């Protein structure tokens, strides 16, 4: 039976069934044997109820199934006996049961009125059955209501609708992801339809009917005529079209789009176009950036002082770039290997052996530096890097790379090395000069332990001459002699280290110990100038990493400068403050503050410049050398005026690497 006729039959049977049920439930409660017409009606009602291919339920006001036809029960996977006496809610999903109750209640309130709704039922195996239910409440002979429900299976239609909705959702998502919208255009009526993504591309409200006037207003003025000509020709000739143009957005930004349309005929033979419009702005921007990048590379290649080269599988030069405005790139290199070109190949055999091994292994190399000659024959230094290249089959074809003239950098490094050596020599001279100036302090530092040695030796003899000898006291005197001897030895060792010309020896250091040793060497100098020292050294400082002798040289220089700055001060105590602490980053700070005349602003800017001095007999190298030493330690030396009197010089030094981690 065809679906359409099955539905028609179902409706007709339902109407007939309602009449039979009405006649049955309104008749007398007992059927007499002689009432043949009534018996025949009941028989016909039972036959229609059981055999009609429509699901029928009879439900009482409480929702209990009073009867269900065999076809309907089978549709749900049950037998009628399994459903009769159960709540009709059992064949509905939990979330739909409130709706079912409401529908039954509505039928009970409106006797003899039909009500229709669509809802899901759940089969015995848990699968879904969509039905369209037509229900009506009737009164039985005893006046009690009964709800008769006829159910039409609409599962296929619902599944088709859901599939269509899902397909539409997928299409909308695909259009959004690909920035491609769809459109329709009837050439005769000029009617336009857009998809959601097309509205988004044109930045138009979806509630607005798209019009040609709006589209023309949105198209870039320089592209408008071309778009009109393209669409007019397509409408006139009935042909497909494909073109690109720009849109001007409300905020003034430019958007590139591509519209592709196919010409078709509708049922009445009228021409219409169905097509797509794609936002290709990102693609256009990428193409523009690519063009700019290519042009930038060409500009670099044509104007750079570097030169590009290519070698064959035998490592001989096959190509080299030419620049008419530079004489740097060597000439006459075609056919030569790199080691044929370099005059230092015999002087550094190990370097070139490793380089040739890398080439034979076909691995990239970077920053090989060698000597060569420019086009005029002048010696130059060249740094080169290269990368192997292969054909589609993986066959090695040679190397491609770039060379750079690093002569200036090499000469600068050589000059810097010479400068470092000169600075080291100057720093040594400064230390020796400083030692000469501190001779009295050094002699005092040595004489103190020597005098103590003599005194303790005399005491030791006195203890031994007693009767009996006081050996315990004598032993203590000898121990003191040993301590004072070590003290004098340390002073002499420290002075020799300052006077010695040696390389920098970096090691983990206790900043407090470095400060105290430096102060000890200038004690006599401070005493002779009536200068007191106040040391505020933190006991929890982390270690620093540096050269003890050079750092002490800096501290001695800063202390001597502070002493000299307070030489003419008579109205306040001459006090030198030496402090140590850590900053917010954990670096160690050591400062030397005086209360002298201070430093004026003009001198502050030039304080650390070589040969700048405010002293009548100074050379102006002390502070410059000090800053060089601190910067070589990765630190910083700075100066600042105090709020009241004098100035403060501050050293900032990084932590020892192990402590920093």
Instruction: Convert the pLDDT of each residue in 50-88 to its tens digit.
Output: 666 788 899 999 999 999 998 889 999 999 999 999 999
SS3 126: coil
Q: Among 494, 460, 506, which Cα is nearest to 480's?
A: 460
Average pLDDT of span 272-289: 88
Where does 522-600 have alpha helices with state H? 523-528, 548-565
**Residue 168 CA: distances (Å) to CA of 206, 208, 338, 613:** 17, 21, 66, 85
Helix (H) or strand (E) holding 359: helix 349-360
pLDDT of residue 6 exceeding 50, the answer is no
The rounded mean pLDDT for the chain is: 80
In this predicted structure, what is the pLDDT of residue 442?
61
Q: Do domains 304-405 and 504-661 have the same CATH topology?
A: no
Tell me whether residue 23 is exposed, middle or buried, using C-beta atoms within 10 angstroms of its C-beta: 0 to 12, 13 to 18, 19 or more. middle
Angstrom distance (rounded) from CA 100 to CA 647: 93
Q: How confident is the model over 459-472, as pLDDT tens digits?
A: 888 888 888 888 88
Q: What is the pLDDT of residue 455?
A: 78
Report the Cα–Cα distance between both ends of the chain, in Å, rounded: 87
pLDDT tens digits along 179-231: 788 888 888 888 898 888 888 899 988 888 898 889 899 999 999 999 999 99
Angle between helices 548-565 and 622-632 (to 10 degrees): 150
Asked whether residue 325 carries a pLDDT value surpassing 50, the answer given is no
If one compares 267 and 324, the residue with the highest pLDDT of the two is 267
Q: Worst-scoring range by mean pLDDT, 16-20, 124-128, 194-198?
A: 16-20
Whether the predicted pLDDT of 18 surpasses 70: no
Tokens of 572: 């306040």
**Amino acid 374: pLDDT:** 74
pLDDT of residue 429: 59
Q: Tokens standing for 328?
A: 């740097």
Indicate the SS3 state at residue 92. coil
- Looking at the DSSP bridge assignments, the partners of residue 108 are none
Residue 425: predicted pLDDT = 61
Q: 645: which DSSP letter?
A: S
Q: Is the pLDDT of residue 326 over 80?
A: no
Least confident of 408-417, 546-555, 589-598: 408-417
- Stronger pLDDT, 161 or 612, i.e. the higher one: 161
What pLDDT, in 10s, does the model give residues 393-418? 899 999 998 888 888 888 877 777 76
Give the C-alpha separation, 215 to 224, whole Å: 9
Q: How far apart are CA 19 and CA 259, in angstroms?
A: 63
Contact 58, 84 (CB under 8 A): no
Domain ranges of the chain: 3-153, 161-285, 304-405, 504-661
Q: What is the pLDDT of residue 456?
A: 78
Q: How confident is the model at residue 5 (pLDDT cuts 50, 70, 90)?
A: very low
Query: Would the pLDDT of 23 be above 80?
Result: no
Helix 471-499 to helix 511-521 angle, to the nearest 10 degrees?
Answer: 90
The continuous run of DSSP H or E covering 44 comes out as helix 36-51
Higher pLDDT pick, 84 / 140: 84
Mean pLDDT across 116-145: 90
Higher-confidence position of 267 and 126: 126
Q: Does the pLDDT value for residue 90 go beyond 90?
A: yes
Tokens read off for 178: 């690909």
Residue 148 phi, psi (nearest 5): -100, 125
The pLDDT assigned to 299 comes to 66
Given a contact cutoff of 8 angstroms between Cβ atoms, the answer to whether 518 and 578 are in contact is no
Residue with tokens 């954990």: 586
Residue 8 scores a pLDDT above 50: no
* Spatial separation of the C-alpha atoms in residues 413 and 272, rounded to whole Å: 77
Residue 158 in this model has a pLDDT that exceeds 90: no
Q: Is the pLDDT of residue 41 over 50?
A: yes
Structure tokens at 455: 């005194």
| Contact between 653 and 587 (Cβ < 8 Å) | yes
Mean pLDDT, residues 376-385: 83
Q: Which of 72, 13, 8 is nearest to 44 (CA)?
A: 13
Q: Which of 375, 248, 390, 382 is nearest to 313 (CA)?
A: 390
Contact 72, 62 (CB under 8 A): no
Q: What is the pLDDT of residue 419?
A: 58
Strands 575-582 and 532-537: parallel
Query: What gap in Å lies between CA 297 and CA 484, rounded to an integer?
Result: 74
Task: For 304-405, give the CATH class.
Answer: alpha beta
Which of residues 338 and 60 earns the better pLDDT score?
60
* Least confident segment among 17-26, 131-140, 188-197: 17-26
3-state DSSP call for residue 198?
Answer: helix
Looking at residues 515-529, what average pLDDT do you find?
83
Measured in degrees and rounded to the nearest 5, phi and psi for residue 4 equal -65, -40
594 has pLDDT over 80 = yes
Tally of helices (H runs) and strands (E runs) in the chain = 21, 22
Q: Quick one: which of 421, 487, 478 has its CA closest to 450?
A: 487
Q: Which two tokens stand for residue 115?
A: 């009500």
Q: Among 23-32, 55-64, 219-228, 496-505, whose mean pLDDT is lowest?
A: 23-32
CB 637 within 8 A of CB 608: yes
Q: What is the CATH number of domain 3-153?
A: 3.30.450.20
CATH number of the domain located at residue range(s) 161-285 in this protein:
3.30.450.20
- What pLDDT is stored for residue 206 in this prediction? 85
Under DSSP, the state recorded for 125 is T
CB count within 10 Å of CB 259 equals: 20
Mean pLDDT for 487-513 is: 71
Q: Give the percent of the chain with pLDDT over 70.
A: 76
Nearest-angstrom CA–CA distance, 146 and 593: 107
Q: Are strands 396-405 and 180-186 parallel, antiparallel or unpaired?
A: unpaired
Rounded CA separation 527/516 (Å) = 16
pLDDT in the model for residue 129: 92
Residues 289 and 616: their CA atoms lie apart, in Å, by 64
What DSSP string describes 418-485? HHHHHHHHHHHHHHHHHHHHTHHHHHHHHHHHHHHHHHHHHHHHHHHHSSS--HHHHHHHHHHHHHHH
Contact 243, 230 (CB under 8 A): yes
| pLDDT surpassing 90 at residue 521 | no
Q: Which two tokens stand for residue 323?
A: 């620049």
Range 370-379 average pLDDT: 78
Q: How far apart are CA 45 and CA 28, in angstroms?
A: 16
Q: Which two tokens stand for residue 82?
A: 């399994």
Asked whether residue 164 carries a pLDDT value surpassing 60, the answer given is yes
Domain 504-661, what fold? Heat Shock Protein 90 (3.30.565)
pLDDT tens-place string over residues 420-447: 665 566 566 565 655 555 565 566 566 6
């Amino acid at each position: 039976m065809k679906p359409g006729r099955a539905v028609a039959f179902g409706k007709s049977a339902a109407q007939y069934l309602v009449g039979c049920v009405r006649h049955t439930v309104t008749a007398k409660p007992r059927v007499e044997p002689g009432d043949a017409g009534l018996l025949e009606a009941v028989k016909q009602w039972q036959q229609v109820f059981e055999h009609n291919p429509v699901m029928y339920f009879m439900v009482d006001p409480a929702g209990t199934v009073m009867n269900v036809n065999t076809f309907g029960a089978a549709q749900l996977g049950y037998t009628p006996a399994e459903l009769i006496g159960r709540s009709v809610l059992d064949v509905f999903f939990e979330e739909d049961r409130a709706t079912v109750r409401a529908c039954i209640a509505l039928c009970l309130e409106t006797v003899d009125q039909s009500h229709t709704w669509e809802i899901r039922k759940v089969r015995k195996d848990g699968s879904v059955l969509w039905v369209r239910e037509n229900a009506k409440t009737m009164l039985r002979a005893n006046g009690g209501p009964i709800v008769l429900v006829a159910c039409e299976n609409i599962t296929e239609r619902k599944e088709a609708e859901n599939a269509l909705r899902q397909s539409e959702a997928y299409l909308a998502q695909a259009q959004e992801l690909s920035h491609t919208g769809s459109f329709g255009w009837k050439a005769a009526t000029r009617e336009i339809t857009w998809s959601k993504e097309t509205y988004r591309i044109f930045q138009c409200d979806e509630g607005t009917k798209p019009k040609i006037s709006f589209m023309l207003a949105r198209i870039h003025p320089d592209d408008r005529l071309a778009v009109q000509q393209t669409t007019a020709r397509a409408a006139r000739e009935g042909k497909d079209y494909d073109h690109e143009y720009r849109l001007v957005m409300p905020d003034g930004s430019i958007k590139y789009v591509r519209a592709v349309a196919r010409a078709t005929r509708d049922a009445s033979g009228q021409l219409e176009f169905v097509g797509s419009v794609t936002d290709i702005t990102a693609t256009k921007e990428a193409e523009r950036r690519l063009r700019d990048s290519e042009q930038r590379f060409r500009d670099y290649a044509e104007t750079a002082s570097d030169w590009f080269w290519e070698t064959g599988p035998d490592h001989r030069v096959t190509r080299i770039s030419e620049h008419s405005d530079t004489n740097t790139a060597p000439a006459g290199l075609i056919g030569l290997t790199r080691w044929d070109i370099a005059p230092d190949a015999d002087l550094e055999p190990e370097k070139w052996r490793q380089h040739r091994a890398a080439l034979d292994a076909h691995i990239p190399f970077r920053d090989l530096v060698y000597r060569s000659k420019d086009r005029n024959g002048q010696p130059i230094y060249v740094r080169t890097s290269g990368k192997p290249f292969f054909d589609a089959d993986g066959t090695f074809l040679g190397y491609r790379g770039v060379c750079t003239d690093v002569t200036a950098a090499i000469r600068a490094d050589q000059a810097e090395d010479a400068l470092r050596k000169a600075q080291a020599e100057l720093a040594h001279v400064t230390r020796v000069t400083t030692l000469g100036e501190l001779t009295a302090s050094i002699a005092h530092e040595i004489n103190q332990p020597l005098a103590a040695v003599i005194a303790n030796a005399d005491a030791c003899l006195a203890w031994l001459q007693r009767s009996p000898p006081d050996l315990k006291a004598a032993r203590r005197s000898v121990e003191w002699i040993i301590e004072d001897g070590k003290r004098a030895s340390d002073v002499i060792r420290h002075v020799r280290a300052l006077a010695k010309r040696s390389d920098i020896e970096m090691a983990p250091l206790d900043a407090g110990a470095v400060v105290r040793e430096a102060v000890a060497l200038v004690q006599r100098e401070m005493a002779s100038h009536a200068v007191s020292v106040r040391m505020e050294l933190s006991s929890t400082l982390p270690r620093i990493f540096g050269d003890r002798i050079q750092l002490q040289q800096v501290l001695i220089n800063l202390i001597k400068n502070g002493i000299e700055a307070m030489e003419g001060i008579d109205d306040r105590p001459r006090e030198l403050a030496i402090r140590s602490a850590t900053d917010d980053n954990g670096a160690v700070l050591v400062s030397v503050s005086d209360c002298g005349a201070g430093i004026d602003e003009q001198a502050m800017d030039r304080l650390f410049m070589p040969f700048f001095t405010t002293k009548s007999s100074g050379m102006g190298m002390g502070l410059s050398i000090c800053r060089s030493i601190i910067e070589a330690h990765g630190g910083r030396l700075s100066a600042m005026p105090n709020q009241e009197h004098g100035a403060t010089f501050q050293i900032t030094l990084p932590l020892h690497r192990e402590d920093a981690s």
